[in-house]
Structure 1
Amino acid sequence: MTDFSATHAKFHIPDGVIYLDGNSLGPLPVAAPERMQKMMTAEWGQSLIGGWNEHGWMAMPRSLGDRIGRLIGAEPGHTVLGDTLSIKVFQALAAAIRMRPDRRVILSDTGNFPSDLYIAEGLVDLLGDGYTLKTVAPEEVEGAIDDTVAAILITEVDYRTGRRHDMARLTRAAHDAGALAIWDLAHSAGALPVRVAAEGADFAVGCTYKYLNSGPGGPAFIYVAPRHAEQAKPALAGWLGHDRPFDFDLRYTPGAGIERMRVGTPPVLQMAALEAALDVWDGVDMDDLRARALELGDRFIAGVEAACPDLVLATPRDHASRGSQVSFRHPDAYAIMQALIARGVVGDFRAPDILRFGITPLYIGEAEIDAAGDTLAAILREGAWDDPAFRTRKAVT
C-alpha cells in the first residue's frame, strides 16, 4: 500500500498554497536542488567534459527512460529520454508513416493538444503527395479508422476536459484496419496506470514536467514497441541516434533499437532534476495512485457541485473515461481562476471557458481538496472574481 503522507513530504509546496496544477507543471521535489547542485559542482564543476564518461551522463537517457518505462508499462530497453515532446511526436509520426507507405491519412481528434496537430499538419505539408491530417470528434475516432489511415495520433487524456480514450480499444481498431497507433501520454504518465506493451501501442511519447515533476522544460520521452525497434526510421535523425556517433561519419547509420530515437545532446542538468523526481516513484504503486486520485476527484466534484451551481462539470463522471484532473466550465473561468490563485489555490485556465484542476495524490489529500472547494465556493458567492485585475490576461494562462 502506497504511503501518500510519505510522498507528500518529498515535495516543496509553498506555505499557504494548495497546488492543483501539477497537470501543467509539477512541484519541486525536495531532493532536486541538492541533486542538481551535485551535478553542477561535483560533476560538471570538477570533471568538466570528463563528466560524460566519469559520471555516465551519456547513458542517462536510456537509464531514465527505463524508469519511466516502468510507469507506462513498457518493456525494458524500449523507452528513451531527450529533446522536447513536439520533436518526439514528429519522430514517431514520421516513422509510422514510413512504415505504411501505401496510406496517406493521419487520423486524430479535435480534442487533441494543438501542438500535436500542428506537428502533423507540418509533416503532411512537407510530404505533399496526397498526405492529409483528418480530425474527428473524440467519440468518432474508432468509426473513422479505415484502410486509408496510416496512423492514429491520439492523446490518451484530453488536456482540457480530462476525458480519457480507451487505449486498448482504439489500438486494436487501428491494427485491425492495418494502421499504427501513436499515443501521447502527456497527461497520463505519472497520473494513472498506462500499459503500452499490454495494450499494443506501436509508439508512445510524453513529457516529464507535468505529473513526473522534472521541472519547467524537462525532457520528453519516446517508446517504440520491440516489434518496430529495428524498422522504425526517424525522419529527424540526430548525431546521437547514429550507430557510432563519435566516428563522426558523414553518412547516417541508425543506432540499434530505441537508440535511433535520440537526436541532440541530452540536457544533463534537467535530467538530474528528473532523476531526483523519479526517486519518489520507487515507493508508489500505480493502482494505488489511480484509486486515490479517483476518490479525491469524486470528492472534489461532489463538493463543488453542491456549493457552486453556476459551474458545469466538463470532466466525465465515469471512472474509466476520466484521467487525473477535474474541469468545470464557466463563461468567466479566467477571472475566477485568477481570483482563486490570489487566495492560494492554484489551478489553471484553458480557453475558452475551462477551470482545470489536477488531482495528484502524491502531494494532495482530502484536506486540500476540501479547502480548495470551499475557497472556490466563497469566491463565487462573494462575486470576488468580478474585478478588472482578474480579467487581464497574462502571457501564460
Structure 2
Amino acid sequence: MTDFNATKEMFHLPEGMIYLDGNSLGPLPKAAPAKMAEVMEKEWGDYLITGWNKAGWMARPTAIGNRIARLIGAEENHVMVGDTLSIKVYQAVAAAMSLQHAKGGAAAARKVILSDSGNFPSDLYMAEGLIKTLDRDGTLGLELRVVAPEEVADNLTDEVAVMMITEVDYRTGRKHDMAALTAKAHANGIVAVWDLAHSAGAVPVDLAGCQAGFAVGCTYKYLNGGPGAPAFIYVNPAHADVAEPALSGWLGHDAPFAFEQNYRAGPGVERMRVGTPPVLANAALAAALDVWDMTDMQDVRARSIELCELFIKEVEARCPMLELASPRDADQRGSQVSFRFHEGYAAMQAVIARGVIGDFRAPDIMRFGFTPLYVTPEEVVKAAEIIEDVMVNALWDTPEYKVRNRVT
C-alpha cells in the first residue's frame, strides 16, 4: 500500500498553500536541490567533460526512461527521455506516417492524421507542420482531420494513417478509452499515437497491454520533474528497429562518435534521441522518480478518484454558479476537475490570491488537479470553503483580477 503521508513529506509545499495545479507543474521534491547540487559540484565541477563517462550522463535518458516505463505500462528499454513534448509528438507522428508508407499499397495511400478537438493545440500544430513539410504544395493530399472526442471511434476508417490522441483532455479531464480505440485502430490498419501528458502519474496506463504504436508525454506535470523537464517517447517493440526518425539527430546515430558523414539510425528506441541529454534536468527528474518508486499506480488512482469526488461534492454544494465541465463518471475522467464560469479567469485569480492554486483555460474553465502524493482530503474541503467565499461573495469582481497574465 502506498503511504501518502510519507510521499507528502517528500515535497516542498509552501506553508498555507493548497496546491491543486500539479496537472500543470508539479511541486519541488525536497531531494532535488541536493541532487542537482551534487551533479553540478561533483560531476560537472570535478569531472568536467569526463562526466559523460565517469558519471554516466549519456546512459541516463535510457535509465530514466525505464523508471517511467513502470508508470505507463511499457516494456523495458522502450522509453527514451529527452527534448520537449512537441518534438516527441513530431517524431512519433512522423515515424507512424513513415511506417504506413513503408508498407506500400493501400497503406501508403492513407492520407489522414486523425485527432480530436479536445487535443492540446501544440499537438495539432506539430501535425500541421509535419503535413506542410511533407506536402508543401498539397499534391499528396495529406490531411489533419479533427473531430469531436466522442466521434473518434466512428472516424477510424481506411483513409486514416495515424490516430493521434491525448488520452486525458487538458481542459475538462475527459478520458478516452485507450484500449478500445487502439484495438479499433489496429483492426483498421491505423498506427496509434498517444499523448500521455495528463496520464503519466495520474492514471494507470498499459501501453504494452493495448499495443499502442507510439506514446509521448512530459515529466513536469504529475511526475514532478520541474519546469522544462524533459519529455519522453515510447516505441512499440514491433516498430523500434524500423521506425524512421524524422529528426535524425547526432545522438540518435548508431555510432555518434564515429562521426560518420551520413546518418545511420541507432538500435531500438535509442534512435529517437535528438539533442544532448539535459544532465541537470535529468538529475531533478531522477529525484522526483525516487518518490514515485514509493507508489503503486492503482493506489494513486483510487485516492485520486476519492479526492476528485470529494471536491465535486463540496464545490457543487457550496457554489451553484459553477458548472461541472469534467465528466461526472470517475471512470471517464483523469485526475483533474474543471468547472465553467463566465468570469473564470478573474475567479481563479481571486482563489489563487487566497492560497488555493489552480489555473484557467480559455474560454471559461477553472481547472484543479489532484495529485494524491501530496494533496489530502482535508485540503480538498478547505479549498472548497475558500472557493465558496470567493464565489458567493463575488470577491473576484475587482479590476486587479481581470488583468490577464501571460501565463493563465
Equivalences for residues 21-32 of structure 1 within 5 A: 21-32=21-32
Shift of 1:16: 1.0
Shift of 1:199: 1.1
Tell me the matched-pair count: 397
Shift of 1:216: 0.4
**Structure 1 unaligned residues grouped into runs of 5+:** none
Q: CA offsets per residue over residues 98-119 of structure 1, 9 Å max, x none?
A: 1112111000000000000000
In 1, distance between residues paired with 2:152 and 2:67? 31
Shift of 1:369: 0.3
Q: 1:214 aligns with which of 221, 225, 228?
A: 225
Equivalences for residues 92-131 of structure 1 within 5 A: 92-101=92-101, 102=108, 103-128=110-135, 129-131=140-142
Q: 2:288 aligns with which of 277, 284, 288?
A: 277
Q: Which runs of 4+ in 1 moved over 4 A?
A: none
TM-score, with structure 1 as normaliser: 1.00
Q: 2:269 aligns with which of 239, 258, 272?
A: 258
RMSD: 0.5
Shift of 1:278: 0.1
Give 1:70's aligned residue: 70
Shift of 1:245: 0.3
Q: CA offsets per residue over residues 156-179 of structure 1, 9 Å max, x none?
A: 000000000000000011111100
In 1, distance between residues paired with 2:26 and 2:330? 23
Equivalences for residues 1-397 of structure 1 within 5 A: 1-101=1-101, 102=108, 103-128=110-135, 129-397=140-408
In 2, distance between residues paired with 1:272 and 1:359? 25
Q: CA offsets per residue over residues 273-314 of structure 1, 9 Å max, x none?
A: 000000001110100000000011000000000000000001
SS in 1 for 2:193: strand
Shift of 1:219: 0.2
Q: Which amino acid aligns with 1:350?
A: R
Shift of 1:226: 0.3
Q: Which amino acid aligns with 2:82?
A: G
In 2, distance between residues paired with 1:234 and 1:329? 41
Shift of 1:87: 0.4
Aligned identity (percent) is 62
**Structure 2 unaligned residues grouped into runs of 5+:** 102-107
In 2, distance between residues paired with 1:380 and 1:159? 24
Shift of 1:208: 0.3
TM-score, with structure 2 as normaliser: 0.97
Shift of 1:266: 0.6
Shift of 1:319: 1.7
In 2, distance between residues paired with 1:237 and 1:86? 16
In 2, distance between residues paired with 1:69 and 1:362? 19
Q: Which amino acid aligns with 2:259?
A: F
In 1, distance between residues paired with 2:216 and 2:249? 18
In 1, distance between residues paired with 2:62 and 2:340? 41
